[in-house]
A and B are shown apart, each in its own frame.
Chain A
Amino acid sequence: MIKIKAKDVDVFYGKKQALYNISLDIEENQVTALIGPSGCGKSTFLRCLNRMNDVIDICNVKGEILINDFNINDKSCDVVRLREKIGMVFQKPNPFPKTLYENVSYGPTIHGMAQSKQEMDEIVETSLKKAALWEEVKDRLHEPGTGLSGGQQQRLCIARAISVRPEVILMDEPCSALDPIATAQIEELIDELKKEHTIIIVTHSMAQAARVSQNTGFFHLGHLIEHGPTDKIFKNPDNTKTQDYITGRFG
């Protein structure tokens, strides 16, 4: 089933066009990887999906992005509600300078998702369990989140993102600052999370895209060159540019 439907999306930074006519369907409960060289527009596209580009004054987004058949670029869209539904995890772990508990409870608090302390405790525990961090931190929930290792911090950020039960999770290079073990833990987590969430991940690691995703989109110079099942893209892509990129032939 299609969760997100991008139709003819153009993005401009001032006069410079960053994305050209992107149309892409994202399937529900699957992992979609966006790959491409630096500056190809993959992160820009990712940021379109929860209107993160709104915070950049000169950025102008055209076209439709339908999530559950609702165009999020429509004026009537409540951006705060949108970002509750579409969570995001960034390249560098960015826990709030607060306790582990507060990091995870922050979202549910501002969205008024818990009626009692007990309910909030449950949300925090479930989120940390889903982020595969609970066992490691359950005895130190009131210590600062910034005291964790890089990999744990990133899982904390994932716990924070899933605490508000988003339908979609956007990940912008979530493992680029992590060692291989922490990376494997996040990848395992992505596999688990896709059962309940739709995941879109931007990654520079082709191997990671191949490992974690079911669908892959290749961006180049602001164009979506090819999009399809990951195994097809990595075994037998249709487009020569895709092949040149994934085989390391880019001139």
Chain B
Amino acid sequence: MAETQHTVKSYEEELKNLNSNIVKMGSACEEALGKAIVAITTRNADHAEEVIKDDEKIDKFESLIEQQVVNLIALRQPMAIDLRETVTALKMSSDLERIGDLAKNISKRSLLLNETLPKKLVDCLIRLSSSVQKQLKTTLDSYLERSASMAIDVWEGDEKIDDLTNECMQEVVKYLKETEKNLSDGTHLLFVTKNIERIGDHTTNVAEQIYFLVKGEYLEGDRPKGSEPIVTGEK
């Protein structure tokens, strides 16, 4: 937020409040993602249940933020940095809400897995999810610090997520091919992998919005992209 304060204190408070709700919503998403990953990699049902239950909180943040943004636009007519704060909050909240949903979906699928997963596959999922978690953390930090350079780091890091997703997909396909009884778990794992990758994409969206918030201009050029997923396992 800008260093100097608004003459109208209640306006200042409303913007601070919006800001703090985004931060809280972001931490809730970070926590949901962390737990969902533990749920899938260690088959921790408690964590899975918590994520499923807590998704409601994330959804509530989204509608609260939306109301706050509509009120600010209607009643305060924000300009310049305030306008960017307001618009960015609205867009960020919808991406964060999707992250929450995807974490919930991962958790639900973790409860449906039957078999013990091969270590190589689990390691691969952990590598992918750690990268995505790191991206999300950096993004939320860049929001707190209003750091455009951190937002760019995230934006550029999306390429690595694509590559790791591809690796995971190949592992899952290998697992699927092993025996027919892997079919159900394998299918869930395909979705889980894709969901983690989608979380990475939403995180990158958020990073783009933070860049706009700080700089007042849009990141130009195409988002760096990694290799296309190879779902057949044949190159």
Contact = CB atoms under 8 A, between A and B. Distances in A.
The answer on A and B forming one complex is yes
A249 B5 contact: yes
Contacts of B4: 240, 244, 249, 251
B74 interface: no
Contacts of A233: 80
Nearest to B82: A247
A235 B80 contact: yes
B191 interface: no
Interface in B1-25: 2, 4-8, 11
A225 to B, nearest CB: 13
B217 A236 contact: yes
B70 interface: no
Given A207-B77, A235-B216, A236-B217, A249 B6 contact: yes
Interface in A207-251: 207, 210, 233-237, 240, 242-244, 246-251
B217 A234 contact: no
B80 A206 contact: no
Contact of A247 (B2, B216, B217): B2
Interface residues of A, number: 18
Contacts of B146: none
A206 B217 CA distance: 22
Question: Interface extent on B, as a size class?
Answer: 10 to 19
A86 B4 CA distance: 40
B8 A237 contact: no
A247 B80 contact: yes
A236 B81 CA distance: 7
B84 interface: yes
A248 B8 contact: yes
A36 B83 CA distance: 19
Contacts of B84: 235-236
A22 B53 CA distance: 62
A247 B78 contact: yes
B6 A247 contact: yes
Nearest to A233: B80
A246 B79 contact: yes
A206 B11 CA distance: 17
A230 to B, nearest CB: 11
A137 B208 CA distance: 55
Which of A207, A237, A243, A247 has the most chain B CB atoms inside 10 A of its CB? A247
Contacts of A247: 2, 6, 78-82
Contacts of B80: 233-237, 242-243, 246-247
Given A249-B2, A249-B5, A243 B11 contact: no
Nearest to B15: A247
A249 B80 CA distance: 12
Contacts of A240: 4
Interface of B: 2, 4-8, 11, 77-84, 215-217
Given A234-B83, A248-B8, A249-B6, 15 more contacts: A206-B79, A207-B77, A210-B79, A236-B216, A236-B217, A237-B80, A240-B4, A243-B2, A243-B81, A246-B80, A247-B79, A247-B80, A247-B81, A249-B7, A251-B5
A-B complex: 10 closest residue pairs judged by Cβ atoms = A236-B216, A249-B4, A246-B79, A243-B80, A247-B82, A234-B79, A248-B6, A249-B6, A247-B80, A247-B79
